[in-house]
Amino acid sequence: MFDDYNTLQELPKCLPLFQGLQSQFATRLDQVMLHYQGSIILSIRLNFLLGHEHSDVIDRMISKGIAKGVKRIELLFSYQTTNDPPSPYYLDQIEPYTFPFAFFSETDSLLYLHLEKCHLVAPTTDFSDFTLDTCKFKSDLKIISPTLFHFNILNCGVKLLERRNIDIIASNLSSLEYFCNGRVVHKINIKEAHMLSKFSFRGSIISKRVGLSGLKHLTTIVLDGLSECLRLTVLPLLFSEYLQLEDVTFKNCSITWELEIISPKLRHLNIIDCAFEGKRTPDIIIDALNLSSFEYSGHTKAFYVKAPKLLNVFWSAAKRDKNPYLFGPIATLNQIENLALILNHSQVNQSKPVFVI
C-alpha cells in the first residue's frame, strides 16, 4: 500500500511526518476491512509500524477476521531487524499495541498467531502455533493450552526490573524456541510438556533461569550464546538426565573448561563458533557410540573422539591457520564416508600429509 516506505532508510526523518503516514495507512486499512464483503477470511498479515494510537482500527480488523473464521494472524509492528541500520529516534516513542486476547474464545478457528512488538496481558487462548517477536510483557506470562504444538519467543530484550515469569503447561507442545537479546532472560518454568521434543535457547544463562525438569523427553536441543560454565551447569543435566537426546548443538557459547560429551544415544553433534577462554585452551572429549554426524567450527588445542559409527563430518579449519591440531581427530576416523572441509589457501599444503587424495 505504501511502496515508497518499505525500509528504514526510506522512512520520514521526523515524528510528525511519520504520524501522518501512520494515519493514512490506518484509514485505508479501516476502509478495506469495512468494505470487505467476502464470507471467509483465512489469513491476516499486517506489516506496518502501528501502535496503541491505532488500537481501534486494529481491533476492528481482528474482530472481523474472527467473525469470518480467520486461521492465521500476523501483526508485525517492528521495522528493526538484525541487519538493519539504527532506526529513526522517534520509533521508540511509539507506544506498542496491546493485543486483545479477550476477543478470542474456545470456538474460534485461529491456529497460528505471530505478534511482533506488542504489549501482552495474560494470553489464555488455544492456538497450535504461537510466536511472540519483539514483544513486551506487562505481567507474568502463563500459557495453558492442550492444543499448542509450537511456541516461539523471539528477540525479547529484557531489563532487569522487567524480568517476568513464563509458565508453560501444554501437554501437546512439541517445540519451544526462546531467543533473548542481552544478558538478562525471563524465568521459564516448563511445568507440563510431556511431548516436547525440540528446544532452542539463546541467552547468556540457562541453568538458573529455565526450569529444565519438564524437558526430559527432548530429542533435539540448540544452545546459543551461553556464557556460563557448560561443564558444571549444563552438561551434567544434558547427558545424565535427558536420555533421549539425539541431536545437540552448541553455538557461540563460552567454553572455559574441558568439554566432555558422553552419550550412547547421541546421533548428531554440532559445535559452532564457540569461544575458548582462559590461559589453556580446553580439550574436547567425545564418547558417543551411535554418533553418525559431527559439525565443528572453532579453535581448539586437543580433540579426542570415540565414535565408531561416525560417517559424516563437516569441519571448518579456516580460522586455525597456525594451529598444530588443524584437523583435530579427522585423520584417525577411518570410517568417515562424507567429509566437508573449509580451508584457506595457506592450509591446502598442510592438508596433504593428513588426507590421501
39 with 68: CB under 8 angstroms? yes
CA distance 262 to 232: 14
223 with 198: CB under 8 angstroms? no
Least confident of 12-16, 17-21, 113-117, 185-189: 12-16
What strand order describes the sheet that includes 187-192? 141-144, 165-169, 187-192, 210-211
Tell me the pLDDT of the chain averaged across its residues: 81
Name the pLDDT band for 6 (thresholds 50, 70, 90): very low
pLDDT of residue 4: 40
CA distance 62 to 115: 13
CA distance 117 to 133: 6
pLDDT of residue 351: 56
User: Three-state SS string across 169-180, please?
Assistant: ECCCCCEEEEEE
At 140, list the grid cell. 507474568
352 against 278, higher pLDDT: 278
pLDDT at residue 5 greater than cutoff 50: no
pLDDT at residue 141 greater than cutoff 80: yes
User: How confident is the model over 19-65, as pLDDT tens digits?
Assistant: 888 899 999 999 999 999 999 999 999 998 898 999 999 999 999 99
CA distance 33 to 57: 9
At 259, list the grid cell. 568439554
Across the range 254-264, mean pLDDT stands at 87
Its pTM stands at 0.80
Give the type of residue at 98: T
CA distance 165 to 158: 12
Across the range 116-128, mean pLDDT stands at 75
49: nearest Cα among 88, 104, 100, 82: 88
184 against 7, higher pLDDT: 184
121 against 210, higher pLDDT: 210
pLDDT of residue 316: 82
CA distance 302 to 191: 40
CA distance 93 to 80: 14
179 with 202: CB under 8 angstroms? yes
pLDDT of residue 7: 47
134 against 23, higher pLDDT: 23
Query: How many CA atoms are closer than 13 Å to the CA of 131, on its beta-carbon side?
Result: 15
Name the pLDDT band for 248 (thresholds 50, 70, 90): very high
221 against 325, higher pLDDT: 221
CA distance 181 to 184: 8
Name the pLDDT band for 355 (thresholds 50, 70, 90): low
CA distance 210 to 123: 20
User: How confident is the model over 186-220, as pLDDT tens digits?
Assistant: 888 888 888 999 999 998 888 777 876 657 789 99
- H helices, E strands: number in the chain: 4, 25
Q: What are phi and psi of 272, to 5 degrees?
A: -125, 120
237 against 11, higher pLDDT: 237
Q: Which residues pair with 273 in a beta bridge?
A: none
Q: Which residues pair with 337 in a beta bridge?
A: none
Name the pLDDT band for 83 (thresholds 50, 70, 90): very low
Across the range 86-107, mean pLDDT stands at 72
